[in-house]
Amino acid sequence: MGEPLLTYIVPVYNTAALLPRCLQSIIDQPVAADDCEVLVVDDGSTDGSSAVVERFARDYPQVRLLVQQNTGVSAARNLALDNARGQYVAFVDSDDYLGDGAAAILLDRVVADDLDVLVYNFSRVMPDGTDGGGVSRDKYATSPVATGVGYLQQHVMSPYVWRYMVRRELIERLALRFDTSLIACEDGAFIAQFMLAAARVAHQDILGYCYVNRGDSAMHNPDADHVKRRIFSQVDAAASINGTINRYESQSGDTAPASVAGLRNVYLYFSMTKALTSACVDEVLQRIRQAGLYPFPCIGPEANYFGKKWMVIHRLMMHPGLWKTLSGIYRKIKK
């Protein structure tokens, strides 16, 4: 079998109920079976997810199942990258699904313009398919080809890897894999590296992806230890992006686009606001200091990532004593 044009990478963990919709949305794309492969990695599911994939694989030869012990979404994506053959790769979470007919348009664009990266729009939906918050706030018109840096000077760097179709040769040339030590924000750390290195990037104004808001997902796990691990992972992802910025600026002699530093800062803001509500301000601040990110970097365009509220949060965070006081007040109110 020859090299397919596109590899879809689908990590799976206990989503047997939603997985058929996800896989069917890929199969139903108007792309020839020989031009597409679907690598589904079962990350140690216990709910019969593998059996769902096997049924699809019997009917659709482009579907292939890989199985690993439960080691997380990053390891699952990495295993798929190690086995991918497509000229381009795209990522799909197993509880989400693709926009109708988008893949053919996206593939036509990446081939016609010889792109390294193509970015596309998404919508938020509820598990039953009803509206879950509308299209993304960073919805853009179709753009001309630019370098990754040039693109990021005009667009927000979206932190979701499933919004990108990426040339696999670029990923391999940069020796990129997802950081398996991160259980949150691993996407942003990965994206920053290929976007700053990409020579040909564009945006396509098309609904390419439907993100499903699930209250029972890992993102919403209320366990205190899990929450703390997620907070630390947010700090570590911010530190990873900071390292990517430093390497880019050292090698190029240029300043990295503000949107990259903006995502770094948002991860820090998320970690501190969650620390405030989780009674672990001191621990999180210590981790941020160890990462060399305190005092918090930048008060400028990149600190205004989602509007004035982030600037207010940034200024408050520059006063750890006040942040601890606010945390105490919050806990008293919640009792």
pLDDT at 301: 54
Asked if residue 178 and residue 68 are part of one domain, the reply reads yes
Per-residue pLDDT of 296-312, as tens digits, reads 876 555 545 556 776 77
Over residues 143-147, the mean pLDDT reads 98
Domain boundary among 198, 218, 238: 218
Asked if residue 313 and residue 238 are part of one domain, the reply reads yes
Query: Any idea what the CATH number is for the domain that residue 23 is in?
Result: 3.90.550.10
DSSP 190-206: HHHHHHHH-SSEEEEEE
C-alpha of 276 from chain center: 24
Higher pLDDT, 132 or 111: 111
Contacts of 252 (CB under 8 A, 6+ apart): none
Q: Is residue 116 part of a domain?
A: yes
- Among left, alpha and beta (phi > 0; psi -120 to 50; other), residue 110 is alpha
- DSSP secondary structure letter of residue 15: -
Asked if residue 150 and residue 225 are part of one domain, the reply reads no
Q: Is residue 1 part of a domain?
A: no
Asked if residue 109 and residue 42 are part of one domain, the reply reads yes
The lowest-confidence range among 76-85, 92-101, 123-132, 217-226 is 217-226
Give 97's strand partners: 210
Q: How far apart are CA 59 and CA 87, in angstroms?
A: 24
Per-residue pLDDT of 184-223, as tens digits, reads 999 999 999 999 999 999 999 999 999 998 765 544 556 7
Per-residue pLDDT of 251-306, as tens digits, reads 999 999 988 998 998 899 889 889 989 889 889 999 999 999 988 876 555 545 55
Helical pair 281-290 and 258-278, crossing angle rounded to 10 deg: 150
pLDDT at 219: 46
Asked if residue 146 and residue 163 are part of one domain, the reply reads yes
Asked if residue 201 and residue 111 are part of one domain, the reply reads yes
Q: How many CB atoms lie within 10 A of CB 301?
A: 12
Q: Is residue 171 part of a domain?
A: yes
Instruction: Work out how many domains the chain is built from and give that number.
Output: 2
Here the tokens at position 34 are 């020989």
Q: Which residue is listed with tokens 């365009």?
A: 301
Asked if residue 258 and residue 173 are part of one domain, the reply reads no
Asked if residue 179 and residue 242 are part of one domain, the reply reads no
Asked if residue 143 and residue 292 are part of one domain, the reply reads no
pLDDT at 298: 63
Asked if residue 137 and residue 108 are part of one domain, the reply reads yes
Per-residue pLDDT of 152-190, as tens digits, reads 999 989 999 999 999 999 999 999 999 999 999 999 999
DSSP 179-192: -TT-SSSHHHHHHH
Question: What average pLDDT does the structure give for the chain?
Answer: 90
Q: Is the pLDDT reported for residue 316 higher than 90?
A: no
Asked if residue 258 and residue 196 are part of one domain, the reply reads no
Residue 251's SS3 state is: helix
Q: Which residue is listed with tokens 């853009």?
A: 140
Proportion of the chain above pLDDT 70, given as a percent: 90
Domain boundary among 218, 242, 264: 218
pLDDT at 126: 83
Q: How many CB atoms lie within 10 A of CB 1?
A: 8
pLDDT at 326: 84
Q: How many CB atoms lie within 10 A of CB 42?
A: 26
Q: Which residue is listed with tokens 């400028």?
A: 300
Asked if residue 255 and residue 187 are part of one domain, the reply reads no
Domain boundary among 171, 200, 218: 218
Q: Is residue 213 part of a domain?
A: yes
The residue range of the domain holding 15 is 6-218
C-alpha of 277 from chain center: 24
